[in-house]
Amino acid sequence: MLKDKVAVVTGASRGIGKSISLALARQGAKIVAVDVTLKGMDELLAEIKSLGSEGIAVEGNVTVTADTETMIEKAVAAYGRVDILVNNAGITRDGLLMRMKDEDWDAVLTVNLKGAFLCTRAASKVMTKQRFGRIINIASVVGQMGNAGQANYCASKAGLMGLTRSNARELAKRNITVNAVAPGFIVSDMTEALPDKVKQEMAAQIPLERFGTADDIANAVVFLATDASAYITGQVLAVNGGMYM
């Protein structure tokens, strides 16, 4: 479905970004895997190869303008184009409002929101020339419903949804769609470490009675990257088991 397409995925070395990279590769896309660390990248590139596709790893920080330009240049140098951008890199620095440090606010807003802006600005120059692009931003259910102790994170993810809609309006005439995926609670290193009781309480808030998986998110991203979603732009696709409707 994505043969001859080139996808840049940020935060690709592990977790949801890794699953997204593999799911896009499974559909034939060539992967430009970007992360601040190259740890795990050899394994990722080997897995991509075993799926019959190919990719390159690029060390880069989404908060550094020059890095975002370089990652797009490297994609074009390797494969000649950039069809898909997945803004997945994200961090948390949780804390209650009254105790939240300025630097924790700035760090989360800078990676989660400014990072997506910088990568989108760099990629959109190439996509505009191509008259084709699919930009997918990984938001979060808590950007829709809020969460105590995550003022910075929720604000960044709500901001990402606004950025999604604004960019969708601006880029539509160039045949570039911009959408967001808002994951609910996803099985990850972070959620695995929680006590069973807490996990059960969290699952009880979810109508489908389970945490999501990274593959649940990756499947939604694949949909938004393919022609099956060609008439969808500016939307937030919630993948949360029904916990927020």
Task: State the nearest-atom distance from the C-beta of 234 to ligand NAI, in Å.
Answer: 19
Contact in structure between 234 and 179 (CB atoms under 8 Å):
yes
Among 140, 152, 177, 229, binds ligand NAI (CB under 6 A): 140
* Residue 89 interacting with ligand NAI (CB under 6 A): yes
Contact in structure between 156 and 113 (CB atoms under 8 Å):
yes
Task: State the nearest-atom distance from the C-beta of 10 to ligand NAI, in Å.
Answer: 5
Among 21, 30, 35, 238, binds ligand NAI (CB under 6 A): 35
Could you give the strand order of the β-sheet that contains 84-87, starting from the edge strand earlier in sequence? 55-59, 30-35, 6-10, 84-87, 133-138, 176-183, 236-239
Amino acid at 67: D
Backbone angles phi, psi at 238, to 5 degrees: -80, 125
Q: Token match 């020339």: residue?
A: 129
Contact in structure between 121 and 133 (CB atoms under 8 Å):
no
Please confirm, yes or no, whether 153 is among the known catalytic residues: yes
Total residues at interface with ligand NAI (CB under 6 A): 27
Among 48, 75, 90, 171, binds ligand NAI (CB under 6 A): 90
The interface region with ligand NAI, picked from 13-21, 22-30, 98-106, 165-173 by CB under 6 A, is 13-21
* Residue 241 interacting with ligand NAI (CB under 6 A): no
Residues in region 158-217 near ligand NAI by CB under 6 A: 183, 185-186, 188, 190-191
Amino acid at 62: V
Question: Which residue, 6 or 44, has its beta carbon nearer to ligand NAI?
Answer: 44
Q: Token match 């400014």: residue?
A: 114
* Residue 21 interacting with ligand NAI (CB under 6 A): no
Contact in structure between 74 and 58 (CB atoms under 8 Å):
yes
Query: Which is nearest to 89 in space by CA: 108, 76, 104, 69?
Result: 108
Active site residue ranges: 153
Q: What is the binding site for ligand NAI (CB under 6 A)?
A: 10-11, 13-17, 35-37, 61-63, 88-91, 111, 115, 138, 140, 183, 185-186, 188, 190-191
